[in-house]
Chains A and B, each alone.
Chain A
């Protein structure tokens, strides 16, 4: 894993100077349950002087500590390097075979900014297809598919690197389990991504989330108090701005309180590849293409036609009408007018 991005002597530099160079260096010590070294002390000297009994209690080994520290500094460097825009220009899926072993004769290339929908009956292989992409399959999954990144076979190390994770997933039944405010929550995410200006990024994400959500929330709203629609809006804003993953996978964005069209466009604007498993006509026709799954394989690729786009406008009108009825119901009105 180490790529020698950091100089070997780093662990002999005094803390005060290290903190100047990499503010997140202190996290290494706190995350291992260690007190911070003094300003003039280098990590190596600090490790050498640690009390053996303390190390035993923490379940740490002295010999390994310098190595762990260096690996951590590598990680910081890699994260910083990774935050500079998308490195992925295309993803190519080479067909494998369906559940009966019939070849899936296709090569499909998807580029950032594209929206691809995934349709097909239950058990037809939609989730397996997404897992193939996430795992960067190399003919080693049940489907025999292989995945190319920028036209090349990806480096095997990328498979498990959290810095190069391909797929971010926005799922339907998503909860927050942390007791934090919206602002604290997004800040924590931004810090883990080593972004330069945490507070600006955090404020931008909260604004964007509010744009997408029907009902507004404030930076001080606890995340656990957000409604379903607000949580989704916040997560779409957060993923589009903070996630390193070039692919965003969405299963059905429900109607409630979120502008679906704008949500998808937000992600597209940030040069994400959007894959949506959906049978919602409005979302499905919003895609550039849709992949039809049958018996574990892709049986057709349908590009959204001009006629379908025209129909989309029609469906949006119907949707707006239904939306109005929904609102009327919410307000306690009678629904006796139609048309």
Chain B
């Protein structure tokens, strides 16, 4: 089975473009399934179901959704194999811009939107910088000049990626994205594979449920700001 991870900031259009790409693949008879990760709740399950896509949702609750993703990704793969999919797409929550669910040897897609502003590409970490495919959405709302500058700024921080514009509403570019997704390498087993980049170190007292503020209550991995 082919496996793809799709990440991107909240509401950047991950589901919209994925649905359009899958719609085009379905017409060719490709069997596609989706796993959606999120933290508290998500409407995405319904959006995929509407397109007739088999989908499962994993909610991380009070855990970091990206850490939760890594702990469950092998089971996602087994589910997809068991269901007989040709392609399994994992849509991540992508809450903090520093995290990336991307795995070495697995096609990594990052979705970002033109509306987020031309400085956004430099603010996003490995999720964007280490992606194989960068999909830029919401080009319909901005000017041609902004689209060009935005694409250039993405290119600056990720010189190797395939960068494409997809319109999540009209589906323009969706067919083309679908072609890239089915060309993903086969993934037989994930055990032993490496994340493309380490997830941020955590485990301070607040990770463990502490609610009180103040230095007496800070333990573990604590980092202090420097003030001028």
- Check B129–A176 contact: CB distance below 8 A: no
Interface residue? B164 (CB, 8 A): yes
Which one of B126, B129, B144, B153 has the highest number of Cβ atoms from chain A below 10 Å of its Cβ? B144
- Check A59–B144 contact: CB distance below 8 A: no
Question: Which applies to chain B's interface (DSSP): helix, strand, loop or mixed?
Answer: helix
Interface string of A189-216 (1 = CB under 8 A from B): 1001100000000000000000000000
- Check A192–B143 contact: CB distance below 8 A: no
- Check B152–A162 contact: CB distance below 8 A: yes
Q: Which of A237-245, A272-280, A304-312, A327-335 contacts B (4 or more CB under 8 A)?
A: A237-245
Per the 8 Å Cβ criterion, residues 56-86 of A in contact with B are 56-61, 68, 71-72, 74-75
- Check B143–A175 contact: CB distance below 8 A: yes
Q: A239 to chain B: which residues have CB within 8 Å?
A: 144-145
Interface residue? A168 (CB, 8 A): yes
Nearest chain-A residue to B138 (Cβ)?
A: A177
Kindly provide the distance from the CB of A219 to the nearest chain B CB, expressed in whole angstroms. 15
Kindly provide the distance from the CB of A306 to the nearest chain B CB, expressed in whole angstroms. 34
Nearest chain-A residue to B180 (Cβ)?
A: A160
Per the 8 Å Cβ criterion, residues 161-204 of A in contact with B are 162, 165, 168-171, 173-178, 185-186, 188-189, 192-193
- Check A162–B117 contact: CB distance below 8 A: no
- Check B156–A31 contact: CB distance below 8 A: yes
A1, A31, A140, A186: the one contacting B153 at CB < 8 Å is A31
Nearest chain-B residue to A175 (Cβ)?
A: B141
- Check B122–A192 contact: CB distance below 8 A: no
- Check B143–A174 contact: CB distance below 8 A: yes
- Check A31–B122 contact: CB distance below 8 A: yes
Interface string of B131-173 (1 = CB under 8 A from A): 0000000011111111111011101110110111000001011
Interface string of B165-199 (1 = CB under 8 A from A): 00000101101100100000000000000000110
Interface residue? A123 (CB, 8 A): no
- Check A185–B145 contact: CB distance below 8 A: yes
Interface residue? B118 (CB, 8 A): yes
B153, B156, B172, B201: the one contacting A72 at CB < 8 Å is B156
- Check A68–B163 contact: CB distance below 8 A: no
Interface residue? A230 (CB, 8 A): no
Interface residue? B114 (CB, 8 A): yes
Q: A57 to chain B: which residues have CB within 8 Å?
A: 98
Interface residue? B100 (CB, 8 A): yes
Bound complex: CA of A59 vs CA of B201, how far in Å? 12
Interface residue? B204 (CB, 8 A): no
- Check A162–B155 contact: CB distance below 8 A: yes
B27, B129, B198: the one contacting A56 at CB < 8 Å is B198
Q: B117 to chain A: which residues have CB within 8 Å?
A: 177-178
- Check A58–B148 contact: CB distance below 8 A: no
Nearest chain-B residue to A185 (Cβ)?
A: B145
Bound complex: CA of A174 vs CA of B141, how far in Å? 5
Q: A173 to chain B: which residues have CB within 8 Å?
A: 140-141
Kindly provide the distance from the CB of A74 to the nearest chain B CB, expressed in whole angstroms. 7
Report if A68-B159 is in contact (Cβ < 8 Å); known contacts: A60-B129, A243-B148. yes
Bound complex: CA of A140 vs CA of B146, how far in Å? 29
Q: A169 to chain B: which residues have CB within 8 Å?
A: 139, 144, 147
Interface residues on A, range: 35 or more
Q: B175 to chain A: which residues have CB within 8 Å?
A: 131, 135, 141-142
- Check A160–B129 contact: CB distance below 8 A: no
Interface residue? A28 (CB, 8 A): yes
Which one of A173, A185, A192, A243 has the highest number of Cβ atoms from chain B below 10 Å of its Cβ? A192
- Check B141–A168 contact: CB distance below 8 A: no
Interface residue? A235 (CB, 8 A): yes
Interface residue? A30 (CB, 8 A): yes
Kindly provide the distance from the CB of A142 to the nearest chain B CB, expressed in whole angstroms. 7
Per the 8 Å Cβ criterion, residues 1-33 of A in contact with B are 1, 27-28, 30-33
Interface residue? B115 (CB, 8 A): yes
Per the 8 Å Cβ criterion, residues 279-325 of A in contact with B are none
- Check A59–B149 contact: CB distance below 8 A: no
B24, B122, B172: the one contacting A32 at CB < 8 Å is B122
Bound complex: CA of A257 vs CA of B179, how far in Å? 42
Q: A74 to chain B: which residues have CB within 8 Å?
A: 159
- Check B153–A192 contact: CB distance below 8 A: yes
Interface residue? B9 (CB, 8 A): no
Nearest chain-A residue to B150 (Cβ)?
A: A192
Bound complex: CA of A31 vs CA of B163, how far in Å? 17
Interface string of A125-155 (1 = CB under 8 A from B): 0010001000100001110000000000000
Bound complex: CA of A58 vs CA of B130, how far in Å? 12
Nearest chain-A residue to B157 (Cβ)?
A: A31
Interface residue? B121 (CB, 8 A): yes
Question: What are 26 pairs between A and B in contact, CB < 8 Å?
Answer: A28-B156, A31-B153, A32-B122, A57-B98, A59-B98, A59-B125, A59-B129, A59-B197, A68-B159, A71-B160, A72-B156, A127-B170, A142-B27, A168-B144, A170-B144, A173-B141, A175-B142, A176-B146, A188-B118, A188-B149, A189-B149, A192-B149, A193-B148, A231-B143, A242-B148, A243-B148
Nearest 7 interchain pairs by C-beta: A59-B125, A71-B159, A192-B152, A59-B126, A160-B162, A31-B156, A189-B145
